[in-house]
Amino acid sequence: MRYRFDRELDTLNLELIKMGSLIENSIEYSIKALINQDLSSVKKVNELEIEIDDMEKTIESHCLKLLLQQQPVASDLRIISTALKMITDMERIGDNAEDIAEIAKYMINQKFIKDIVHIPQMADATISMVKRSIDAFVNKDKNLAEEVCKSDDIVDNLFNIIKEELIEKIQEDKSNGEQAIDLLMIAKYFERIGDHAENIAEWVIFSITGEH
Partner 1 sequence: MIDKLKIENVDLYYGEFQALKNINMNIQENEITAFIGPSGCGKSTFLKTLNRMNDLIEGVKITGKILLDGVDIYKDMDATVLRRRVGMVFQKPNPFPMSIYENVAYGPKTHGIKNKAKLDEIVEQSLRSAAMWDEVKDRLKKSALGLSGGQQQRLCIARAFSVNPEVILLDEPTSALDPISTMKIEDLLIEIKNNYTIVIVTHNMQQATRISDKTAFFLHGEIIEFDETERLFSMPKNKKTEDYITGRFG
Instruction: Report if residue 74 touches partner 1, rule: CB under 8 A.
Output: yes
DSSP for 186-197 reads: HHHHHHHHHHHH
- In the complex, what is the shortest distance from the CB of residue 6 to partner 1, in angstroms, rounded to a whole number? 8
Instruction: Report if residue 68 touches partner 1, rule: CB under 8 A.
Output: no
11, 21, 75, 143: which one binds partner 1 (CB under 8 A): 75
Instruction: Report if residue 76 touches partner 1, rule: CB under 8 A.
Output: yes
Give the angle 142-146-151 at the CA atoms, nearest 5°: 145
68, 73, 109, 111: which one binds partner 1 (CB under 8 A): 73
Say how far residue 192 (Cα) sits from the centre of its chain: 8
Stretch that binds partner 1, among 57-65, 75-83, 88-96, 146-154 (CB under 8 A): 75-83
CB 24 within 8 A of CB 93: no
CB 104 within 8 A of CB 37: yes
Distance, in Å, from the CA atom of 182 to the CA atom of 119, rounded to the nearest integer, reads: 12
Distance, in Å, from the CA atom of 212 to the CA atom of 202, rounded to the nearest integer, reads: 7
User: CB-wise, 71 or 109, nearer to partner 1?
Assistant: 71
Instruction: Report if residue 210 touches partner 1, rule: CB under 8 A.
Output: yes
Instruction: Report if residue 4 touches partner 1, rule: CB under 8 A.
Output: no
CB 89 within 8 A of CB 193: no
Instruction: Report if residue 5 touches partner 1, rule: CB under 8 A.
Output: yes
- In the complex, what is the shortest distance from the CB of residue 2 to partner 1, in angstroms, rounded to a whole number? 5
Q: Applying CB under 8 A, which residues contact partner 1?
A: 1-2, 5, 71-78, 210
